[in-house]
Structure 1
Amino acid sequence: MLATLVAYSVIAGARAITGLRSLWLGTTPRSKQRIYFANHTSHGDFVLLWASLPAALRKRTRPVAGADYWTKGTLRRFVIGEVFKGVLIDRQHSASDHNPLEPMLKALEAGDSLILFPEGTRNLDDEVKLLPFKSGIFHLAKACPQVELVPVWIDNLKRVMPKGRVLPLPLLCTVSFGAPLVAKEDESKEAFLARAVEALLELAPEEEA
């Protein structure tokens, strides 16, 4: 019950502060297993994307998040585990037998959709639109060809909550959903990642592309 109340509060707060607009430009919000991959400029990115989904899709869509950040403190663990049902990945494990994709693969095998940021970390450089993509999204696409990969551009959130600011600025934010991608059978990692980057940049506003 508490997690449900917190979830509704998060959604209402995100929409009120950002004036959230969801633009389904290349697809529709349908019950299809997907990986939503987006640009990453703020800690609030996955919250805004998650809040922009219809309720039926939110129930089976889980954000991928770093365990090193979200397991620090009782409140963070509650929020990511009980409210968002997040898939936590260990970004600091270096053992040769450790597969960082395993938690994501298990979630996909269970029928869940994911929210993923292929840059791997927040992009705080205003001069660079996207950081190089990590290879994880390619390996997920190859391992789960039945899952659609939907590019999502999140616009303005970094301005709403700039680094170092305690209170957000009331600015309009837009979450734009593009056409789904699938990995081609003989496609190389480099070719797929380039195509994924291009699909995401095509959704950026003209002044940011």
Structure 2
Amino acid sequence: MDKPEVTLENYEAVYAYYRDHQQNRMLAMLAYASLYAKYRPRITYADDAKAQLAGLVKSGRVLIVAANHITHSDQYTLAATAWKTPLRRAIGRTRVLAKDELFVDPDLHKKVDMMGGIPVFRSKNYGLRAVADAGRLMMDISAERVCRGDNLAIFPEGTCNEDDPTRLQHINSGIGHIAKRAADRGVSPVLLSIGISYGPDAHGPDTENVKSASVFVGEPLFDLPAKPMDIAHVVQKDLQIAVDGAVAAY
């Protein structure tokens, strides 16, 4: 299938493409390794989290990875973290929800595709009504990929935190809807929260101080509630704990 133009008007063709898109795993591994060499995050773990995560990835158990969103470089920090943690084994079978603006420039589009990106059309850009149908299809496709064995990485705040990088913004129910749709199809993903801190003075979308981030990998959560909003509340609490850990370790 030919790669479609990533526009809201074209959302059905976009998600038909990303339903099956698969990047070259070897190229993805090289890219993630180069991002680690550039960004070099300093990684700490919750008690027993590293061993648990290694076991989950080795067994093929699917994960929903939730990370806080501070700058435009967070996806690179997260990729660098994946390379240096047990998540390395999951490179090439992890989808990353990414704002549609990243798919406009052809060169950047190619890089985001290589990292496993799936476009998201955000209500802040188009309005809630305009993105409703596209959003539902995006959640369906994301849940389908999870059910087929892919992990899913999400920045559930939806936009960069320009105020206080130590406190999460409100998390809406989108992550909960994806997890529930996967569970309704017989697959219960494990939640993995990853907190990122660049220090107290580095936040907002365009900050340059993004290297040597403090990254905290939380303990995997196996039992999620049944309702999407309840799942979002759990993510809010668990991800804040991971952010607190990243801030404390900075």
Matched, 1:13 2:52: no
Paired residue secondary structure (2:233): helix
Aligned-pair CA distance for 1:202: 1.8
Number of residue pairs the alignment of both structures matches: 199
Matched, 1:59 2:92: yes
Structure with greater proportional helix content: 2
Paired residue secondary structure (1:11): helix
Does structure 2 conserve the Cα–Cα contact (< 8 Å) formed by 1:37 and 1:152? yes
Q: 2:130 aligns with which of 78, 94, 114?
A: 94
Q: 1:184 aligns with which of 225, 229, 244?
A: 225
Aligned-pair CA distance for 1:161: 7.2
Determine the C-alpha separation between the residues in 2 that align with 1:49 and 1:206.
16
- What is the match of residue 190 of structure 2? 148
Counterpart code for 2:81: S
- What is the match of residue 85 of structure 1? 116
TM-score normalised by structure 1 residue count:
0.79
Matched, 1:48 2:69: no
Which residues of 2 match residues 110-189 of structure 1 at below 5 A?
110-126=148-164, 129-145=167-183, 146-156=188-198, 159=201, 163-164=205-206, 168-169=208-209, 172-181=212-221, 182-185=223-226, 188-189=227-228
Unaligned runs of 5+ in 2: 1-25
Does structure 2 conserve the Cα–Cα contact (< 8 Å) formed by 1:159 and 1:171? no
Aligned-pair CA distance for 1:106: 2.9
Determine the C-alpha separation between the residues in 2 that align with 1:73 and 1:42.
19
Unaligned runs of 5+ in 1: none
> Relative contact order (C-alpha < 8 Å, sep 6+): which is higher?
1
Paired residue secondary structure (1:52): helix
Determine the C-alpha separation between the residues in 1 that align with 2:146 and 2:241.
27
TM-score normalised by structure 2 residue count:
0.68
